[in-house]
Structure 1
Amino acid sequence: MAIAAGRARQEQVYRDGVSGRRPRVPTSAAELERRGRRAMSRRADAYVGGGAGAEATMRANRAAFDRWETVPRVLRDVGTRDHSVDLFGRRHEHPLLLAPIGALDLVRRDADLEVARGAAAAGVPMIVSNQAGAAMESLAGVGRRWFQLYWSTSDELVDSFLARAEASGCEAVVVTLDTTMLGWRPRDLDLGHLPFSRGLGIAQYTSDPVFARLARERAAAPRSGPAPRVTPAAVRTLLEISRHHPGRALDNLRSPVPRAAVETFLDVYSRPQLSWDDIATLRSRTALPVVLKGVLHPDDARRAVDAGVDAVLVSNHGGRQVDHAVAALDALPGVVEAVADRMPVLLDSGVRTGGDVALALALGARAVCLGRPFTWGLALAGAAGVAQVVSDVLAELDLTVGLAGVRSAAELEVRRRY
């Protein structure tokens, strides 16, 4: 199928410019970040933009793209370009998905629905976060969706999430492996701010029947330990929890369940004991294709093949989990070689532009996930901002491929600069 996304997007911008209209969000990655961050609250910017430790991994993710260069070829017929990919027997017009990002209600009200609408308008799937502010069922029918799974300490809750993902029309489940505990994130720590402790980003849990039962059981149990101190900040937190919990805020204020739900979440969401034995049970737990997210080592990629999963996603969680970790793009060629065409390899972490997407595809990724840039578009213009950011990335990808003299990014000639 011929794709003309690049020229069409350029022509639209320049035609609008004749009438004095400019893009709603910046097309420059650097300016998009600058303005998007300014549009966020301090807490939202810290949570979305922050990384682990001194944030060396975040810097390494970006530096990795600078170590590669494209060698354009000329006088080739590139009038027809095709960026479509097949994933798990389904065709995708574009090799791009939106990465799962939790607690997006920090950025904008009804953020997950806005992201779903923006992704659908741009023609790419959204990976719905396990830590979303909207239940997965509320996004059903809004574009194509995958579901991200954080493996809870409760296997019963894991099974409930998987069943709900299937029933709500998700096309795959993305099991995040690198967040069995939260990384050391100074930007959040210095603010003393974890959105989940305020009831933000736990809607998948509070909408789940298994979790609701666990929360009710906790609320009914005798409290142990010292009572929390009553301070103005504690009162504000209680009000936040009551607003974000399902039901009427006034009723929630009178009930012990919303606070118990937050405490239950903090107890069950992470599972440091997660192992390959758990992954081996997935085929009996869900009919959905399974993607393992957070694979960086070739040996882990080989074990994923042996475990019978359907794909791996090379990712260091955008630099949010381990400081001084290997850059995702640097890890990609080794994982691709280890997998040896036995399953698709995807990539996220550090992706900002269509040129970045092109490099990742040329190095063997089947598709790429975009993260922080769409949140900056969300902050600036809601669903329209998300759609524009995605459309701009796809347009640059298309132009990069055509101007390099090839018809798809996989055909690009690339080499290391140093």
Structure 2
Amino acid sequence: MADALSDYESQAAAILPTAVWDFVAGGSGSEITLRLNRMALDAVTLVPRVLTGVDKPDTTAAVLGHEWSSPIAVAPMAYQRLLHAEGELQLAGAAADAGIPYIISTLSSYTLEEIAGAAALSWFQLYWLRDRAMIRSLVDRAGKAGCRALMVTVDVPVMGRRLRDVRNSFALPEDVVAANFVDMVTEAHAPVPGLSAVAAHTASAFEPAVSWRDLEWLRSSTELPLVVKGILDPRDARRAVDAGAAGVVVSNHGGRQLDTAIASIDALGPVVEAVGNDCVVLLDSGIRSGTDVIKAIALGASAVLVGRPLLWALAVEAVDEALDLLRRELRDAMLLAGCADLNAVGELTTGRTPWQISG
């Protein structure tokens, strides 16, 4: 049992191999952005309303034409069989039970069809590959599997230098594969001293020189709503909308790409202002509690993506419990803030307490 999502982190740390723990927990470079995400979220303050007569807050959210039980989706995360034998299937099933979407990673360790079959509502996350025919195939497969949106990640022209993985010479165990690429020879299983085998694999598979023209091609290649993940600059958010995006995800990849990049929560407001009502805005990176969720909604997001805490819960057989805990925290936070629904959360006044980074 856990009293907070952070409890799963310590529980998982006690049982996972060091290299796997570091692969999930780590950020890029000196991990400054990794720390900034939490510090910036902690610095946001809320001004609650009182005497609103609320006793049962409504947590439901409408996103891209579908109703979610709460404004939370499971973030796309690679190779979940590192944490649990059933990996993505276990977490997708828990998301289905919780009434929230599961976003399938390109680098999932079960096939996207298997995961979509376990999820009630799924999106597919796409990394931009060197092989455009493979992109077409993945997009087509996602549509046929019933995925309701396509989320393209645009902040990984190359994998950020993740020093924990380098120092661990991290490589995937033989039983954990990129299941959507059964015919692809992968370097990810071959450990090399002083290198990350996973980074070597992505360097060979991912196309670094992606442009807005590629995004426009993708928009013209699918009828699925297109969501662009990895937006921090409001100018890029506006351009994504102009290119046909139905949504953007304000994200610094959980501090795993450009180190010293702005905290996602600090980038949220300017992005919301830039796009207005022209697209859905989601927030990713650093969400750890129901209070964090209402901070994001108060600052203009329609919903959030939750990542690492659910992987820790997966490792300790507690994903259903974790999602229920997050839902209860959200409900209690809304009740304490005097909010009957998410519209009321969006009208809350926020403040900011200055923090000084250390460590």
TM-score by length of 1: 0.78
Rounded to whole Å, the distance in 2 between the matches of 1:65 and 1:264 is: 33
Query: Residues 28-43 of structure 1 correspond to what in structure 2 (within 5 A)?
Result: 28-43=4-19
* Offset of residue 264 of structure 1: 11
Q: Which residue type is aligned with residue 377 of structure 1?
A: A
Q: Which residue type is aligned with residue 391 of structure 1?
A: D
- Asked if 1:340 is matched to 2:254, the reply is no
Rounded to whole Å, the distance in 2 between the matches of 1:101 and 1:38 is: 21
Q: Tell me, yes or no, if the aligned pair for 1:41 and 1:107 is still in contact at 8 Å.
A: no
Deviation by residue 1:319-377 (Cα, 9 ceiling, x = unmatched): 01111110000000010000111101000101101110110011000010000000010
* Corresponding residue to 2:160 among 178, 183, 207: 183
Aligned to 1:138: 114
* Offset of residue 413 of structure 1: 2.6
Rounded to whole Å, the distance in 2 between the matches of 1:199 and 1:111 is: 12
Aligned to 1:392: 325
Aligned to 1:318: 254
* Offset of residue 129 of structure 1: 0.9
- Asked if 1:111 is matched to 2:98, the reply is no
Higher Cα Rg: structure 1 or 2?
Answer: 1
The 1:28–1:85 alpha-carbon spacing in structure 2 relative to 1, beyond 3 Å, is closer
Rounded to whole Å, the distance in 1 between the matches of 2:246 and 2:199 is: 34
Aligned to 2:38: 62
- Asked if 1:153 is matched to 2:137, the reply is no
Deviation by residue 1:72-105 (Cα, 9 ceiling, x = unmatched): 2221111242222222222222110000110111
SS of residue in 2 equivalent to 1:149? strand
SS of residue in 1 equivalent to 2:128? coil
Rounded to whole Å, the distance in 1 between the matches of 2:214 and 2:17 is: 38
Q: Tell me, yes or no, if the aligned pair for 1:104 and 1:201 is still in contact at 8 Å.
A: no
* Corresponding residue to 2:335 among 372, 382, 402: 402
Q: Which runs of 5+ in 1 are unaligned?
A: 1-22, 207-211, 219-227, 229-233, 239-261
Query: Residues 349-360 of structure 1 correspond to what in structure 2 (within 5 A)?
Result: 349-360=285-296
Q: Which runs of 5+ in 2 are unaligned?
A: 192-197, 355-359
Query: Residues 224-373 of structure 1 correspond to what in structure 2 (within 5 A)?
Result: 266=202, 268-373=204-309
Rounded to whole Å, the distance in 2 between the matches of 1:47 and 1:267 is: 17
Q: Tell me, yes or no, if the aligned pair for 2:159 and 2:203 is still in contact at 8 Å.
A: no
Q: Tell me, yes or no, if the aligned pair for 1:43 and 1:106 is still in contact at 8 Å.
A: no
Rounded to whole Å, the distance in 1 between the matches of 2:84 and 2:199 is: 25
Rounded to whole Å, the distance in 2 between the matches of 1:357 and 1:263 is: 31
* Offset of residue 285 of structure 1: 1.1
Kindly report the root-mean-square deviation, in angstroms, between the aligned alpha carbons of the 2 structures.
Answer: 2.3
TM-score by length of 2: 0.90
- Asked if 1:81 is matched to 2:17, the reply is no
* Corresponding residue to 1:414 among 346, 350, 357: 350
Q: Which residue type is aligned with residue 79 of structure 1?
A: D
Query: Matched residue pairs, number?
Result: 344
* Offset of residue 273 of structure 1: 0.6
The 1:318–1:263 alpha-carbon spacing in structure 2 relative to 1, beyond 3 Å, is closer
Q: Tell me, yes or no, if the aligned pair for 1:134 and 1:203 is still in contact at 8 Å.
A: yes
Aligned to 1:256: none
The 1:338–1:201 alpha-carbon spacing in structure 2 relative to 1, beyond 3 Å, is farther
Aligned to 1:19: none
Rounded to whole Å, the distance in 1 between the matches of 2:109 and 2:86 is: 8
Rounded to whole Å, the distance in 2 between the matches of 1:332 and 1:160 is: 33
Aligned to 1:375: 311
Q: Which residue type is aligned with residue 284 of structure 1?
A: S
Q: Tell me, yes or no, if the aligned pair for 1:311 and 1:346 is still in contact at 8 Å.
A: yes
Rounded to whole Å, the distance in 2 between the matches of 1:29 and 1:108 is: 18
SS of residue in 2 equivalent to 1:294? strand
Q: Tell me, yes or no, if the aligned pair for 2:159 and 2:257 is still in contact at 8 Å.
A: yes
* Offset of residue 263 of structure 1: 12
Q: Greater share of helix residues, 1 or 2?
A: 1
Rounded to whole Å, the distance in 1 between the matches of 2:201 and 2:140 is: 19
Rounded to whole Å, the distance in 2 between the matches of 1:36 and 1:62 is: 19
* Corresponding residue to 2:150 among 144, 148, 173: 173
SS of residue in 1 equivalent to 2:45? strand
Rounded to whole Å, the distance in 1 between the matches of 2:309 and 2:199 is: 32
SS of residue in 1 equivalent to 2:241? helix
Aligned to 1:243: none
SS of residue in 1 equivalent to 2:180? helix
SS of residue in 2 equivalent to 1:204? coil
Deviation by residue 1:151-180 (Cα, 9 ceiling, x = unmatched): 100110000000000000111111011112
Rounded to whole Å, the distance in 2 between the matches of 1:192 and 1:121 is: 37
